[in-house]
Structures are given as C-alpha cells and as structure tokens.
Structure 1
Amino acid sequence: MNLTPVSIRTPDQLLRVFVSSTLRDLAEERQAVRGAIERMRLAPVMFELGARPHPPRDLYRSYLQRSEIFLGIYWRRYGWVAPDETVSGLEDEYNLAPPAMPRLIYIKSTDDVLEPRLVELLQRIKNDDRASYKSFDTVEELRELVEADLATLLADRFDASLNASADGAAAVIAPPQQYLPSENGAGAIPAPLTSLLGRDREFERARSLLLQDGVRLVTLTGPGGVGKSRLAIELGRSVREEFPDGVVFVSLAAAHDADQVPAAIADALGVRDTGAEPLVDTLTTALRGRRVLIIADNFEQVMGATPALIALLAALPGLSFLVTSRTVLRVLGEYRVDLGPLALPAAGDRDVASVLESAAVQLFVQRARSVAPEFVVTDDNVAAVVGICRKLDGVPLALELAAASIRLLPPSVVLTRLEQHRGLVSGTPHLPARQRSLEDTIEWSVQLLPPREKTLLQRLGVFSGGFSLTAAEAVAGGGVAGDGTAGDGAVGGGVAGDGAAGEGVDVDVLESLGALADSSLIRQQDHGEDARFTLFGSVRDYARRGLEASDAGAATHRAHARYFADLGHASVPLLRGRTQNATMRQLADDRDNLRAAVHYLIEHREWDRLARLAWDLYVYWWMGGLLNEVRGWMDELLASGDAVDDSSRAAALYYSRAITFWQQPVEVIPGLTESSTLFHAADDRSGEALARTSLALALLTTTPPEPAEAEDELERSLTLTRSAGDTWGEALVLVTLGRVAIFDQKLRRALNRFEESLEVARRQGDDLSAAIAENHLGWAHLMLGDVDTARVLFRESLSASALVGHTEGMAYGLEGAVAVAAADGDVERAGLLLGASEALRERSGLYNVPTFSFHQQAIAPILAGDAAAQLLAAQERGRLLLPAAAVALAVSPPTPRPPVPDEAEAEAGAGAETETVSDLEQAARS
C-alpha cells in the first residue's frame, strides 16, 4: 500500500479507524472488523459505539474529523438516500473523508446484482489512487485482511517517519497529544454539545495568554453556569498544535478533597500510582521534558490543592495549567480571565434582526430549537424573548434551562412564570445577582416537573460524575412517585450494564430520566454500549442540597454505597476472563462513584463492607494503577481500632504490605504472614494464595534472598488455587514459580511452569494472564537460545497487553523485543525500542518498580562494542516514539541480516550469540 502518513492527534494514545458500511446486512462483518481493530490496539469509530443525539450527517462528519484511517466495507446495497440529500450516507462518508486520510476498502464477493449506484461508487473508489481495494469471501478472511493491512499501514507510517528527517522526527515521533497514555480516553477533551457563542473577547484573551511566553497558569473565573467549562473546552481544542505532547482535561466535579487532585491528574494522564514515592513526584517524572496543557475544571471546591499545582509548575517548565474556578487561586504567576453574562439585547428592543445579534438571544434560540425545531423569533414573541434573556441576566445555563420549556410553553408564558416565581433565591440574598438568577431558574425549572421527576432529580444528586441507567434504577428508583423512600441498593440484572430499555428496566425511571433530559437538567451520552447520564455542576449542587434536606437523604447515600459495593462483588468473575476488558472500562466510568462509596463506608465505619469492596476489585485496582490509593483506605481501617472480621483484616494487611514489598521486604513479611493466616482462618483459599504469593516475592527480595522458602510458599499457593477452582490465581502462581526457577538457573523447569500458566490462562480466556505468561515464556526461550520462539512470544504478549490497555505489559513486551533485536544484531531496532520502553515506563509511573526483564543484559555486549554510539543515538530517538509506533515496530518482521562472507566470521557470530545467551542466564540471579 502506498498511503500517505497523516498526523495522529488523539489524547488517549489510540489511533482511530472510522468504519463505513451499511449496517444491518453487514453486522457480522462490522463486528469482525471491530475485533481486528481492537487487537491492533486501535480505536474503532462506529455508530454502534458512539453518541446519537445528533443528525446522522453531523455525527459522521464529526467522527471523520476525529479519525485517522477510513475503512469501508461494501457488499450489495448502496444505502438509503435521505429526502434532502443526493447521495446515501455510505457514499457521503467516503466523500467527506479528508483527502490525506488512508482508505482501506474491502468488497464482499457476491453473485447477486449490485445496486446501480453502488456500482458507480465502487468504480470511483477503484480509480482513486488513495485507496487500498481488496475483495473477501468470509468474515474470517476479512478479519485477517484488516489486521494485516493495519499492521502494514502502521509500519509504513513508521518507515516514513524515519525517512522524513535525519533524526527520525516526523509523523509518529512527537506529534501532538499522542504520547501520554490515558486509560479509556480519561483525559480526552470532552466533545462540545453546543456552539460557543458570545465569547470572542474572552476566548482571544485567554488563548493569547496560553500561548504567551512566561504565562503558565491561566484561570477562567465566573459564577456557576456562566460557561467556564465550555470556554475551556474550546480553548483546549484550539491550542492543541501549540502543546505537542498533549492537552489533557481533568474534571474535578466529583473531587471534594484536595488530596484527590493529583490522583485525578494521574487518572487523566494514565500514570499509575505505585506507592514508591509521592504521586506529585511520579507526575513530575511522567511529564518531564514534555510540553503539556492540563485543564483543571471546577477547581473551586479543591482550592487546597493549589500547592500541588504550583509544585508541578515549578518542576516542569513545559507544563501549563488552564483552571476553571468560581474564585481565583491568588498565587504568583496567575493570569485571570473573568467571564460575565452573555451580551443582552437592549431593554424594550422589538426589532427582530437587532435582537438576534445578542449572544444571549442566540443561545436561547439555539437551545429552544433543540427541543422545538420549528421555534423562531417573530414580531409577536420578540418582546417575551428579550424579557426572558434579561430576566436571566444572560447566564448561559439559566438560558438553556428556560429554553427547554419552549417545547411546552410559548415565550410569553415562560416569561410570566419566571417573573412570578419566588424560589430558592429568596432565602439566599448573599448570593451575587447572576448566581441568584441561576439558582432561581433551576428552582423554577424543577417546579415545572411532576413530583416523580422532582424526587428522582433530588436523588440523582448522590452520584459523583456520571451514572448508568442501571445505577439510577437501583439507587434512586425506589418510590419515585415521591414517597420519601430510596432504593435499597440491590444490584439488579445487567450489572455490567447494557444501558438499553427492556426486560428488567424500571419504565418509570427511564421515562423520568427522559423528562429530565428534555428539561436540560441532565445530559444523556451514549458511552460504548451503555447509556450514561450527567448533571451540570450547578444542578448537581441544587439536587444534593435538596437531598440532604430531605427525609430520603441518609437512605439514598446508603443505597448508593451499597449498590457500588454490590457492583464490585458482582464484577469479580467478570474481571477474570473474556469479559475483563469491557468490565474494566465500565468500572473506570464509575471510578468517582466507587470513591464516593468508599468515603461513605469510611465515614460510617463500615469496615467489613469496605474491605470486601477493596478485595473484590483487586484486579481493577491493580490494572488501573490505583493500588496505592486503596492502601490508604486500608491503612484507615487498620488505624481505626475497630473490630473487623478475619477477612477484612487480612485484606487490609495485604494492601498495606504487599504493594511495596521490594522497598522493605523484611518489614512487610510479618504482615503478609498474618494476612495469609487470617485468610486461612476465614477459609478464603484464593486470598490466602495471593497473600502467600506476595510473601514469596518479598522473600526473594530480602538480603540474602530465600528462594527455597519462597518456593515452599508458592507450592502451597498453587495447591490452594487449584482446590478453590481459582484459575486466575493458578496462572499467577505458576508464573511466579517459574520466576523462582529462573532465579535458581533451572531454565527447563521455568519453561514448564510458564507453559502451564499459559495453558491455564488460555483455557479461561484471560488475555491479560496469557500475556504475562507469554512474556515470561519468551525470556525462558531466549535464555535457552531459541530466539525465533522468543520473538513470537514477545510479539503475542505485546499485542495482547496493548489490546487490554495494560501499560505495564506493553513495557515488558517492548523490553522483550529489545533483547530479541540485540540477539538479531539489529542495533538500530534495539536502540529505538529501548528508548520507547524507558519513556513508556516513565510516562506511566512504572519506572521505579521491580521488573522481570533482562534486556539490559542483552544489550550489554553492544554497549561494550563499536556499535555503542549507534545504540545510544537510536535510544534517544526511540524515547520520542509514540506507543502505537513502538508496538508496530516491535511486532513487525525483523530486518534481514546481511550474509556472512566466510566461515570464520560465521563462527565468530555464533560465538557472540552464545555469549549473549550466557549473559542472560547469569542475569537471572541479579
């Protein structure tokens, strides 16, 4: 394929592939293509996976603008042509794809007669030299074609980048927003749902500050609902070119403690909190040498975190902050941009054209048309529209709430009711006028609702961040007619959440949520396959105040905590096996709610329930890089002095001790021993096995190490996992036993252990455990001199880790590829991958933890020889590689080695390879 590389600009490290086809007749093919794209650690952009409350053409135009590869699947149908269009959506998608976007086209073979317009489209595509055009017969063939073509495309982009300049800095090296990892796109700038109106002056002022040398902290200030977040989103989107290492959005709406701010920033950046050092220090290392803008939204409730921001700014000259807050931070170097109300029409103005020039009126009309498309400002209603906008002081959120009622009421009635309403503001005269106007409008909007919707909105204030339909039913759905009760928190059907109305769905709650969305009090967003809802910050504040004052407050908070505790318990089997990836994404969506549940349990000293939640979600905390945060919760449990059951204390001791076993092995051994004993007393075999496994690792870290004792602990762990039917634990223990065998130089025994682990992992469909076993197995084969088998295993491990988003596994896979390249004598590739793996560990917070990797020993002979300078130069360039490009390089075929000119040189080469393997064997003890 001769495809022109394009710039990758996604903040979640995933290159996006837009999939175009007719839907129903190619559903199976679309599913196969989605799987192929995800296996390459790319992001499929498909209607099945995205938001839908927009006209189709607007939706796929926006999707195309945010994608980097166009992938079309065609068969028999041309597709439907809308009444106002001249081409089908299928052809329109192809037409709208940017000219430089690579196009992968696949035609399904058929004996049927194709629709005439499809024939014309296919002929045009065939004549398009920008497109790769292939046919297929079966779904499996399509899947293989897509995977092969995507791999080739990534390799082409990588090669093009290396040939573009002497130092290899081009399309895949240091482009905007692509290096910093971000689990599930957590740091992505939110897609704007409305146009930015009336903010030209503030926008230009803030943008010029952000781009000005020496200005690194800009604060957008103003009252709630004035549009600070919306302006910050627009600013972030506009300066992405100027911040080549990323613009990252950090929502602090659910944070109520200053200590949560570094964790929220780490979440958005994909940085793991390993507990090896203060998180601010880890963030400093992750961001060092990068030019990044962090948008910290809703900072007013965590002002105590200001010193953490200043510390990061002081340590990182390439870092800038854009903060939204109702108050300024009042620190040296802060530049403030105030947001006032939108421009208002003059009082008494009745000229429609003149009135429509007002930003306040433009926003009101825009939002009114979203619920009543036929709405227009006329001579008959212009006075009322002017009155509404002036009554609401031009506050954007207040205007949006009032506009939502246009679906039911004419402007004159809306104005009359606003003027007559005496709501919440009567009791809050201390609030500024604009804030009172917003509060009054929220109250007025709520008073228009029937009792059922009022009650539901109040209870929805318990959620932190977004929430699913299932959660709303379980937590807020009990007694939605307004009887003052709350749900009991029991998790109903579909804990994993499909978000669709159907069997088991509370129709009252579903209808009420729809009514609240129609009133602009909540926002609905499709998130993968699950519908999720959010509240505006000011609306959430209003709802929460009402909840706290109601008789249902305590019961609703209890229901919320118990729902998410039950959700954690129901997720245990889903986190181990084929459902792991989807479950991880769903839990990440509810991370703020999980934290809120934890804080409720701590506040109410429900220690046993807290410990169970912490233990149930062990895999999630681990993969999400949150173990240190959990350790803090467990330390509170241990320090409480309250009586807890054996399982709770065992879990708390485990988290408190195991997370940093390599730093203080002697100190943690007693705690891990007690943990395993308590798990044994509670007859928790899986828990006991995990505690003993961590104890074994600590024994290997002591000075001197104690491998015999470690192996004894692991053998007991293996027996426990097998008796408990815990295949996930069994795979983990087998890998650790293999590591002990390598420590003892018993390579064949290690090989057998790793093979056993891989077989167990594959049997249960656990991609992550399989990736871990494959990586270890690769090292065993490499130490035994089987480079080709090691190459395949490292490649499979790396691909699987990338698929499930396991950054640590990706780092291990790249390090394995470094050793293979060194064994191949490919100095350039070894250096590039070495730099990429080092940078990945630093950027994700994994640079200061113990590793099971021998790549440093593999490159030691190169560093000691004439090729050292070449390796080091490639290493520096490799530090600039995108993770996607590094993975593509690592899994691509090796560069053919030049033929050996004579037998003497062949013997010398064989001797060098033997020496390298020997070095790896010796490294097993280090």
Structure 2
Amino acid sequence: MTERIFRFGAFELRAERGQLLNSGVPVSLGSRAISILALLAERAGTVVSVQEITSHVWPNLFIQDNNLRVHLTAIRRALRTAKAGGVEITNVPGRGYRLNADVTVELSLPPDAGTGFGLRPLPLPLSVNRLIGRADCVASVMESVDRHRLVTVVGPGGIGKTSVALAALSKFATSITTCFVDLTNCASVEHVTTAVAAALQSPMGSEATPAVLIDSIRDAELLLLLDNCEHLIDITARAAEAILQSCRRVKLLATSREPLRVPGEVQFYIQPLPVPAMTDKIEAIADSPAATLFVERAQASAGAFAINEDNAKQIVNICRSLDGLPLALELAAAAVPLVGIDQLSSELTQRLSLLAFGRRTLARHETLDAMLDWSFELLPSAERTVLSSLGCFRSSFDLAAAVQVAALDDCGEQETEYAVLQLAAKSLLVIEPALPGVAYRLLETTKVYARRKLEASGQAEIAARRHAEWVRSLLERAQDDWLRLERATWWERYGPAIDDVRAALIWSLGEAGDQRLGVRLTIASAPLWTGLAQFAEYNRWLERALVTLNALGEAGGAEEIQLQIGLCVLAFNADRPGEKFVRAAEQVRRIGEKIGDPLARATGLWLLSGQRGIMGDHPGSLVLARQMLEPTASDPNPDLRDFARRVVALMTFRVGRLAESAAIGAELVADLTDRTAYGAVLRYNHSTVARGNHALTLAIQGRLEESLALIAEAVVDGERLRNPASFCYVLSSAACPVSLWLGENDLARHYVDLLAREASENRFTYMGELALWFSTIVDRRTGRLSQPTALGQMPPPLPHDKDMFITTCAALCDKEAVKRVLAQETHWATAEILRAHGEVQLGLNDEETARAMFVRALSIAEAQGSRLWALRAATSLARLMPPNEAAPLIRSALTHMDNAARFADVRAARMVLTKTTSKRRRAGPAAFE
C-alpha cells in the first residue's frame, strides 16, 4: 500500500502511520487529529468546511462542534512546538478551516507493520496525566487478559475505566499487536465496524462490513480494546461474540458501565479510589490515592497548591464527598483557583453540577451533569423513575427498601426489583456486602443528580413519604434486634442509617411532612443519636418535636414523656442539672403519674433524685429513689425493678449505709444481663452503671481488688455498648475517683483521658469540667502540673462533685466544704472530708484541731463500715500518737485490707506502722510503761 508523506515547515506527517514528526521528533497527537491535519494538508491554502471535515473523520456519524474544536486545539498546540513559525490553522467564520503552509507530498511504500495481514493499528492514545492509585487494578486486568479472551472493565462513568484499560493495553504493546477503538460516537453496527477498521488502518476503510472485517483479522494475533460500549451494549456484545468465535488468536478488552454478558466474559469491576478518614494524620491523608489525585490536579490548575495542616481536613471532606471518583476529583481540583479550597469544601454538594473546569476530550465528560446525562438518557423510562426515587436514600439500602421507596406506579414489585437490579448492573448503584446479603448505594455525585431529577419529576413528596415510612420500619426492626443481636453487629447493621433518619426528620417535621410520623421517628431514633454522639443535633430535633407535638394538640402523653427524658439527659451533660433539667424531669414525673405509666413516673423520680444528690441533698435523693417502685406495684417489669433498685443502691451508698448498698449492688451485678431496653438507653445502660456503682461501694468498704476488677469490666462494657452518656457517667463517678483513691496514677490518667475524649467528642460540657478537675489532680500527684489550668475559668464544682474531688486530693478541702459537711447528716464522704480538713489544719500547725478531726473521721468511718476511710483516718491519727497507741490502731485498720498491699493507703499505713515499731524498739519497754 502506498504511503503519503506531507512535509510543511519543520513537520513531517505520515497519515497512514498516524505519525507527526517535528524536526524528526514525534509529536503526541491523537488519531482523529492526525486525520483532520492530513485533510487540511492535502487541501493546504484552501478552506475546508466543517461538514467536509466531520464527514471525512467521522463518516455517517453526528458529531458535536465542540468535538471538532477539541481536536483542532490539539493540532494548533502541536504546530506551535515548531522551532520556527509560519505554519498555522486559521478559522474562516461561517466557512471552515484552512492550513496556511507550503505543503509538499511524497509517496512511499512503508514496511509491513508486523501483523502479517496488512494491519497497522493507529498508535495508542498517550496519557497526559499520571495514573494514580490504579497499579493493582492494571495488574489485575493484565492477569485476566493473560488468562481469558474477553475481559470487560466495568464501572460507573468517570471512575477511570478507560485509563486503566489503556494502561494495561500499553503494557502488552511490546509482545502483541494492540489496537484501541473508541466507540463513543458510534450508533450502529456499521459504525462499530467502521471504527474498528479505521483504528486498524485497514485498507477497507469506511466500506468495511462485519464479515469482511472479521475475515481480515481471522488469523491475526491481536489485542483489541473496545472502549465505551454501554450505549451499544447489544451490538458490541454480538460483535465481540462473533470475533471470539471466528478469530482464535484475537483477544478483547472492553470498557463499559455494564457487562457485555457474552459467554466466556470475565468482568473486572473497578472501584472508586480509596479515600482518607477524617481522623487520619496529614501523612496518611497525603498518601491516600484520592487525595494524591486531587492535590496533583489542583497543582496543575493552581500552581503552588500543596496539602498542609490548614487544608488537610477540607481535602479529606472533598475526597469523601466525591466518593473517590476520579473525574469528580479532577473537576473539583480544577475549581480550586476559582473558588478556593474552603468554599469548595463547604459547598461541594451544591457545586457538583457546576464542576465544569476540567479539560476533557469528550463532551460528555466536561461536567458531572454531562457525564450523568449520558448514562441517564440511555436508561429505559422505568429505570429512570426508579433511579430518581432512589436519590431519597442517604446511605446504603437493600432490595426490599429500594422496592418500597421507588415502587413503580401501575407495576408490581417484580418490575421494580428488575429495574433496581438493572441499575446495579449498569454501575449506577454500588453493590456492597452487608448483613445479611448485599446492599446498594448511590455515589454522592449520582445521588445529587438523582435528587434533582426527582424534584423535576414532581414526585419528590411521594418518594419522601415512602422513604420516611421505610425509616420507620427500619427503626422498628432495629428495636426488635436490640436485644437479639450482639451490640457490635447491631451497630454495623443500623448505625449507618443515621443519615436516612435525618433526611426523614427534615421532611416529616417540615410543613409539608407527616408531623406525627416525625415525632415518632424522633423518639425511636434515640439510640442512634446517642450512640453516634450526635447530641447537639438530637437536642434540636427533640425541641422541634416538642413544639410539633404541642401544635398538634397531643402533648401530655407517652410521646412527650420520651421527648422530655431525652432533653433531660442532654441538658445534664451539656449544661449541668440546672433549671431546664428540673422542669423537664418534673414534667416526666407528672405525666407518668397522670397517665398511669410506672416506668415514666420512675424515670422522672430518678432524674430528680440524681439532681438532689449532685446538689448535696443525699437524704432527699434517697427518699425520691425509694418512691420509684410504687407500694401497689406487686410485680413490676424486670427493667423497672432493676432500674429502681440500682438507683436505690446508689443513693443508699451516698447516705453512708454501705452494707445495705453493697447487698443490693451484689444482687444486681450477679444477675447482670445486657438487657437494657431499646427505649431505655436514655436511662443509661444498666449493665455498665450497675457495675460502676457497686465498684464504688466495694472500694470504700476496703475490697480494693474487687473494685478495680469490676470497674475494668464496666469500662469495657461502656465502650462496647456505645452509649456516651452512661460511659462518661461510669468514668467520672467510679473509674477516675477509685483509681485515684487507690494510688493507681497511671490507670487514673488512662481513665481521665478517656473521659476527656468522650466529653470533647460529644460536647458534654459538664463531663468536660469533671475531666479537667480529675486531670489536674492526676498532674498534681505526679508532679506534672507545669502549666496553669483553666479551673479558675469554670463555675465552682457542685457539692457532690466537690466532695468527690476532696476524697482524691485533701488539699482541695476548704472552709465551705467543712461547713457544709458539718451542717449535714453524715454521708459517704463525711469521714474523709473531715480527715482532709485535719490534714490541712496540721499543715497550719493546728495539731489540736487536726487530732479532733482525725478522731471524729475514724469514728464515723468505722460506724459506716468505710474501711478505706477508716484506714486513712487511722494513719493520719497514728502520726500524732505515741508509738504504743499508734501501732494497735493501724493494725486494727489493716485487718480488713487483705490482698491489698500494693495500694497507696495500705503502703502508707504500713510505713507508719514500721516507723512506730522501730521507735518502740529504740526506746525500750520502759518508755511505754
């Protein structure tokens, strides 16, 4: 076959080879651009119309003008690489294009290109950008091609199917003849045949027929890449099957949004790029493929752009919001110099349809909307309707959920199921493993697009109602599974639904929504909001639901009870148990009594009892706790009975009746099961709190090893059950103080750090204050208090909390605490506060007052059975006594401290005993007569 060589300026164009040389150096230019340049060179100096160019390059196809402009821009860029100018393409408005150059034409007989059958495939398109995060994909595709004759790379638009397939194809180019065929602009079997013939540079050209084409490659050893098959899936499948049957040495690699479903096909599903986590450090973020792609493309658009501590979280947010979709990341990166990283990150979902700043060779990839329009327009009507409705989902969903929300009018469930499965097959739904079976999910870009289509269809309200009803049924299943499933399994199954709950609440509590349903959803979703630490947002939903309930005229019933309980718990953690807390608790108690709901009544009394105790009124707190079980309730339900007994045990401990409290606590712990009812999570997890409360009693009774072991169980239980409110409670009320009492400073630091973390993550202001106090005490003990703390900026501790702090650090005892404790009946901390006061007075050289305080503290502690306080009081007093009196006192206090030698107070007591004994030996018997 004769080859023509066009020479103009410094350029040499060999059109049949698809090659352009600039002073002998190859210039990167695509096959379409080469064909356009050859036509203009052949007609140099004359105007060639747009119609003539498109007919020559894309025979029998309709081509958008911007496709031609893209290729002409590439040609002009290539011509500008010449060392000397003088060669240019000019546009003659309304007429066409002209190559301005002196062109000479030579004829040559080129050598055989190597197939043995006169086939000389066009050069493979060169990748402009580095392929990021796809090395494993390329290797897997290559391995599949080695072993199979048809491999289809499947995935949604913009995920990088073509890039991966081309990278694999280029690696085969040294061992086998390879050919790239772009089917984007093909619309029929004739177009496909022509495209393949053109890519192979077959002499048949546009006159090729399927039979003749197959005959021409029958014996060729060839790897053929058919790119973008989704819009011609049936035609491409038939062509692929014919080639595989007739051409034994030909292998096919295809890219498509759905499989070809040809016998022998191997499907390789390409996934989005891995995205970094919000908690990752900057090094891990920078190493993430999605972030790497975004940063590299942003650098191309914005020059000096780089990842740093200031923008790392915004980059993570962008990568996660775009699901690691390469096209979306490229378009977003191109927008950085125009809108800035902060605004892009904060308004990304609103900007998805506007991202149109990347340079793409395909018009359908110029914007995300264009890409999705391409896929959407290929769908049958039923699948379009279903896809739009599925935009209601915020997280993953199963097939039954999809059918419920996206039900097709005038069609049965089977038709909707089929449409959903087809959308998954066409890569518009992501398939994920789930418990049980599989789940489906829309990429964020697809989700935003689908919701806009739903709004435009006029069916948004119908779909939103169906979605809210589905959320209601999901929460009902969650409640049924609460005690049946392991808690970790429960969270894996239902935790991701929080985004759908939020969407359902936005609709149902809105003006056009089903407001009664919204109130029920607010109540039923409590475990999700608490377990996922969304307290501030849940507080807003609770208040909104209360307003809605009042507007509906339905306040004063069971639903208001649940809403008020939620507000109480959130108010307690966010802003101490103040007036708002008390009002809500009183309302819970009143409504419970009015409607005859013993559990609601008991919950209100628990809340009020707890508030009284924190304010230092322990007797009043116990009175309220005892009222939780009505005298007439002969057989209360187990949840209420254990709940009430747990509170009574705690309040009994606080009034100083340790043996009675320990007896109740031991029974509760022995009978522990993880049976906290679904609706009872706002009353704390029973298993966690019962262990913590009992451990507190055991510690003061002197059963120190038992106490630490039980606390360890409670902390593990609290973390496992994912209830931040009860976890913080057990850390602040038991784990932190007990570890400090026993001198376990490292363990105390661990528990304090846990409390500080939980308080910070959940925005628990009150618990954060307690964590800061405990942290300061640990630092003081370990000599690490090197920087000023923020204690002075906080409100003074509440009475019970202050008493707790004094028991862990005697130096915190002041006149107010002593005055208050002397004015009250003795309680759990009275003995230790008096002893602490004695230590403070001893430091002021007031030995007489100190001795009186130690004697009184010891007396109270022994009467209460508070052996830990008794040991401390005895040790303090012994230092002021003659050795013959001190030794028996300490020995008596140590009697009940078996197996506790490692703890600080026991060590201190034995040290005093040792010194006392040594003094007696040195002084001799006469000294003590």
For the aligned pair, the TM-score class normalised by the smaller chain equals 0.3 to 0.5
- Structure having greater relative contact order (Cα 8 Å, sep ≥ 6): 1
- With normalisation by structure 2, the TM-score equals 0.46
Please state which structure has a larger fraction of its residues in helix: 2
TM-score, with length taken from structure 1: 0.46
